[in-house]
Amino acid sequence: MGQKYRHANTSVSLLNYHFVWIVRRRRKILSGELDTRLKELIQDIAPRIECEILAVETDSDHVHLFLNCPPTLAPSQIIQRIKGATSHALREEFPWLKQKLPSLWTRSYFVSTAGSVSSDTIKKYIESQRSR
């Protein structure tokens, strides 16, 4: 993958996070236009919080996201911003979501750190989720 370390005034870092979160009530709604729009929103949000998307994939009821992030953000802050912004935007663009679900995402999520050695493995795993 050949990732580069992030250099700041007082630090050098390489922080990769694998996030997984699910749709409220495990509803199988992530397909078609909604799925496409979710990925577009994630592509817009990640650079705003200085994160680089290494891989993103959805299944019908959950999302896998692999990010390279700065050390100034905690994983909880990253996922809070992504889930909050995507939920707000998708519920505005797809009004039927407001009626079907009280909130789009559950409060829970999975996060794991990964160094540069295992980044390729995680990226391949996330990309293979769609074909399962």
**How does pLDDT run across 60-83, given as a tens digit for each residue?**
999 999 999 999 999 999 999 999
- Encode pLDDT of 22-48 as tens digits: 999 999 999 999 999 999 999 999 999
Domain containing residue 14: CATH number:
3.30.70.1290
Residue spans of beta strands (DSSP E) within the chain: 6-7, 12-13, 15-22, 52-58, 62-69, 110-114
* CB burial of residue 102 (10 Å; 0-12, 13-18, 19+): exposed
- Alpha carbon distance 20, 4 (integer Å): 24
Q: Evaluate whether residue 1 is within a structural domain.
A: no
Residue 86, both tokens: 């995507």
At residue 121, the pLDDT reads 77
Q: What is the pTM of this model?
A: 0.86
- Encode pLDDT of 76-132 as tens digits: 999 999 999 999 999 999 999 999 998 999 999 999 997 655 677 777 878 887 665
At residue 116, the pLDDT reads 56
pLDDT tops 70 at residue 1:
no
Q: How many separate domains does the chain show?
A: 1
Domain that holds residue 120: 6-128
Q: Evaluate whether residue 17 is within a structural domain.
A: yes
Find out whether 45 and 81 touch, Cβ atoms under 8 Å: yes
- Mean pLDDT for 1-30 is 90
